[in-house]
Amino acid sequence: MAFIAVDMTPVLPGGKNGGAKILAVELLKSFHEKAPQDRFLILTASWNHEDLAVLDGPNMRRSCILRGQEPEPKPPYARYSPRFHRAMRRIRTQLKRITGGRRSPIGKSLAAQGVELLFCPFTAPTYVEGNIPTVSVVLDLQHRELPQFFSLHEIGLRNDFMAELTRKADRIICISEHTRKTVLKHLGIPPERIHAVPICIQSRLSRPEPEKGLQYLKDFGIAKRPYMFYPANFWPHKNHSMLLTAYGMFLARNPHSPIDLVFTGALNGGEGRIRRAVSQMGLSKQVHFLGFVPEEKLAAVWFGCEFLIFPSLYEGFGIPVLEAMSIGKPVLCSDRTSLPEVAGDAALYFDPRNPQTLMESIEKITMDKALQRALVEKGRVRAGLFQPDHMTRKYLEIFRKSINEPGAVTSSEIVGIFKDGWMGENTVVAYASGPPDRILEMKIEVPSWLPARRVKVMLSDAHKTLQRAGIRSGKKMVLRQRLPGRQGRMTLSITPTFNPSDYGMGDDLRNLSVICRECKLVSPGEEKILLQMKGNRV
């Protein structure tokens, strides 16, 4: 029996969180049945406390710990306004000032209530307590892979969260193998702390009663003509503009085609831009904007469609692809990121940046009935590989392992430095128990030809920032930090990073920062070398 706190404070009304909210809510619902012996404390905010009443049960209760005005979201799924982030930081700062960092915003620490683990399905370990294991979910690292869709300010905020995650989360659950690989690539977290657990929540869709379903479609104005379906919030990486371009090309070449295009998703500024484009193209009668649709009505839209069209440029998983396969709908989708991992051989793939291939895929599926049947058959088989019970069990296993095996550090090591001595953004030094007078010593070099004229260095442990410094290009630095006698981890974060290929330095696609010449633990009469680069090898 375990007592687990779950941070649901980032949940926003409606569909503003995208698939992240769907996963978190469905996962917690499954704990009612699969983990009746465990207890769950759901940490909520004033803007979502009542909406999350659906989670109440014999082993689950809510506690509203954050009050105030609902934050204004910005895409994608977990982007919030700078005002929200500043408010959260003020709360944490005031809390530390009042209580010395020992207590939680709920007025009584989680540990004092008997909580044994903190689960953060929205990534950020905001309410971590040093003596309680923390498990976080990472949905994607889109800001590192497609930074053009983010402001510099927002990239900074998300990098701060990822650095905090690296320091504080004992284990990380990634929603796909693709996401796990990007975490390993960008965050330098030891592989044993990272688990890939695919999303398996497709069974939430159930066919509505025929009369009720037909009435919903009539209410939406989509009952008379066949339609392709794209369920996605209007965020840049969802690529609505390219789909609209391809659809216009399709209708120009097939003017008598009866197929319409239906969009669902939370309304924001992006939706307005697409609406204007639809009007300018003269497609207002063929393209339908349904906005955020509640689950029962959404099921009617799903079962009424001809096929799923999914041109996303970046997905941590791709929930709609799995949902379409599970209810017997053909899948046309992008060939990028995690989508081939989810759909396997059960999709008709296209290049999401090429409207010609997208248009040709629409033509194929509308004209080839045999292809439709083949995709449906393959889709049902593929969907059967994603079992909800398996997902729930894996999460619970990771929770129990985190509680029972908190991750003892048996030997000192450094993680996040490449073989040639280059460092990325985050480097983790894990140190075993030892003399309390040990010193961590790192020799860092900033080449004179680095794109940035100055880099920032921050050393921190799971609880606080220990050192901050700046180093100019062409300079060297020796970083020294006294270590406690107990085991632990420290993270060295360095910004900015650069990609050599972007500066004409060959095809090196790594994100690099500075060079580590040496890292060692020094105690009276003994030196333990963790890393040493000889000569000028870089």
DSSP 437-479: T-EEEEEEE--TT-SSSEEEEEEE-SS-EEEEEEEETT-EEEE
Domain identity same for 224 and 126: no
Q: Flag whether 248 is in a domain.
A: yes
Residue 244: what residue type? L
The answer to whether residue 396 is domain-embedded is: yes
Enter the DSSP assignment of 400.
Answer: H
Distance separating alpha carbons of residues 284 and 221, to the nearest angstrom: 12
Quick one: pLDDT at residue 105? Answer: 46
Question: Which residues are registered as beta bridge partners of 172?
Answer: 136, 194
The verdict on 358 and 397 lying in the same domain is no
Matching residue, tokens 């979502």: 48
Q: Is-above-0.85 flag for pTM?
A: no
Domain total in the chain = 3
Distance of CA 192 to the CA centre of its chain: 19
3-state secondary structure of 307: strand
Q: Which of 334, 369, 404 is the last residue of a domain?
A: 404
Listed as ranges, residues in the chain with pLDDT below 50 are 74-86, 89-106, 536-538
pLDDT of 72 reads 56
Kindly state whether residue 525 falls inside one of the protein's structural domains. Answer: yes
Q: Are residues 265 and 364 in the same domain?
A: yes
Q: Residue 353 in 3-state DSSP?
A: coil
Are 24 and 148 part of one and the same domain? Answer: yes
Classify residue 199 as exposed, middle or buried by CB count within 10 Å of its CB (0-12, 13-18, 19+). buried
Report CA torsion sign: 64, 66, 72, 76: negative
pLDDT of residue 101: 37
Residues 6+ apart with CB under 8 A from 150: 142, 143, 158
Dihedral over alpha carbons 201, 202, 204, 208 (to 10 degrees): 170
- DSSP H helices, 263-349, are 269-280, 295-304, 319-326, 339-343
> Do both 194 and 206 map to the same domain?
no
Does 427 reside within a domain? Answer: yes
CATH code: domain of residue 284: 3.40.50.2000
| Position 537 in a domain | no
**CATH, residue 515:** 2.60.120
215 and 364 belong to one structural domain: yes
Are 456 and 477 in contact by the 8 Å Cβ rule? The answer is no
The CA distance from 82 to 72, in Å, is 9
If asked whether residues 132 and 240 sit together in one domain, one would say: no
Determine if the peptide bond prior to 435 is cis (ω within 30°): no
The H-or-E segment that residue 389 falls in is: helix 388-404
Assigned domain for 506 exists: yes
For 3, the 3-state DSSP assignment is strand
Q: Which amino acid is at 157?
A: L
For residue 179, which of 162, 193, 167, 196 has the smallest C-alpha distance?
Answer: 196
Q: What is the largest CA-CA distance in the chain?
A: 85
Same domain, 368 and 246: yes
CA atoms of 18 and 14, how far apart (whole Å): 9
Find the domain containing 192 and state its range. Answer: 3-199+391-404
* Terminal Cα distance for the chain, rounded: 51
Q: Are residues 365 and 399 in the same domain?
A: no
538 in any annotated domain: no
- Which pLDDT value is given to residue 81? 45
On whether the CB atoms of residues 136 and 123 are closer than 8 A, the answer is yes
pLDDT of amino acid 79: 44
Q: What does residue 84 show for φ and ψ, rounded to 5 degrees?
A: -65, -45
What whole-number distance in Å separates Cα of residue 228 and Cα of residue 301?
Answer: 10
Mark whether 206 and 348 lie in a shared domain: yes
Write down the pLDDT at residue 374: 97
Q: What is the spatial distance between Cα 390 and Cα 374, in angstroms, rounded to a whole number? A: 27
C-alpha distance from residue 27 to each of 30, 34, 249 (Å): 5, 10, 41
pLDDT in tens, 443-457: 999 999 999 999 999
Q: Is residue 82 part of a domain?
A: yes
What is the 3 state secondary structure string of 474-487? CCEEEEEEECCCCC
Asked if residue 399 and residue 495 are part of one domain, the reply reads no
Q: Decide: 423 and 409 in contact? Cβ < 8 Å.
A: no
- Give the Cα separation of 435 and 523 in Å (integer): 7
Are 395 and 422 within one domain? Answer: no
Between CA 66 and CA 88 the distance in angstroms is: 9
Rounded CA-CA distance 161/142 in Å is: 13
Of 100, 129, 8, nearest to 61 by C-alpha is 8
* Residue 220 DSSP one-character state: H
Alpha helices in 74-134 (DSSP H): 82-99
Distance CA 316, CA 293 (A): 22
